[in-house]
Amino acid sequence: MATSLTSHRPMLAIGLKLGALFLFTSMSALVKALSDDIPAGEMVFFRSLFAIPPILIWLSFTGKLEHAFKVKRPMGHVWRGVLGTTAMGLTFTGLGLLPLPEVTAIGYATPIFTLVLAALMLGEKIRMIRIGAVALGLLGVLIMLWPRLGADLSDAATIGALCILLATVARSFVQIHIRQLVAVDHAAAIVFYFSLTATLLSALTAFGGWVMPTPGQAVTLVLMGFIGGVAQILVTSSYRFGQASMLAPYDYTTMLFAIVIGYVWFDELPTLVMLAGATLVIAGNVVVIWREHQLGLERGKARAVTDPKS
Q: What is the pLDDT of residues 179-210, one digit of tens each?
A: 888 888 888 899 999 999 999 999 999 998 89
- What average pLDDT does the segment 243-249 reach? 76
DSSP for the chain, please give it: -HHHHT---HHHHHHHHHHHHHHHHHHHHHHHHHTTTS-HHHHHHHHHHTTHHHHHHHHHHTT-HHHHT--S-HHHHHHHHHHHHHHHHHHHHHHTTS-HHHHHHHHTTHHHHHHHHHHHHS-----HHHHHHHHHHHHHHHHHHHHHHTS-TTSHHHHHHHHHHHHHHHHHHHHHHHHHHTTTS-HHHHHHHHHHHHHHHHHGGGGGT-----HHHHHHHHHHHHHHHHHHHHHHHHHHHS-HHHHGGGGGHHHHHHHHHHHHHH-----HHHHHHHHHHHHHHHHHHHHHHHHT---HHHHTTS----
Can you give the residue range of the structural domain that contains 234?
A: 2-303
Q: Enter the pTM of the model.
A: 0.88
**Structural domain includes residue 253:** yes
The model's pLDDT over 66-92, given as tens digits with 9 standing for 90+, comes to 888 988 889 999 999 999 999 999 999
Q: Is 309 part of any domain?
A: no
What confidence score (pLDDT) does residue 5 get?
46
Find out whether 143 and 280 touch, Cβ atoms under 8 Å. yes
More reliable by pLDDT, 192 or 6? 192
Please state which of the ranges 5-19, 181-195, 212-226 shows the lowest mean pLDDT.
5-19
Number of domains composing the chain: 1
> Is 310 inside any structural domain?
no
Residues 89-148 have pLDDT tens digits of: 999 999 999 999 999 999 999 988 988 888 888 787 777 887 888 899 899 999 998 887
**Least confidently predicted of 51-55, 187-191, 282-286, 301-305:** 301-305
User: Above pLDDT 90, what percent of the chain?
Assistant: 53
Confidence of residue 249 (pLDDT cuts 50, 70, 90): confident
* pLDDT for the residue numbered 257: 95
> Is residue 31 one of the residues assigned to a domain?
yes
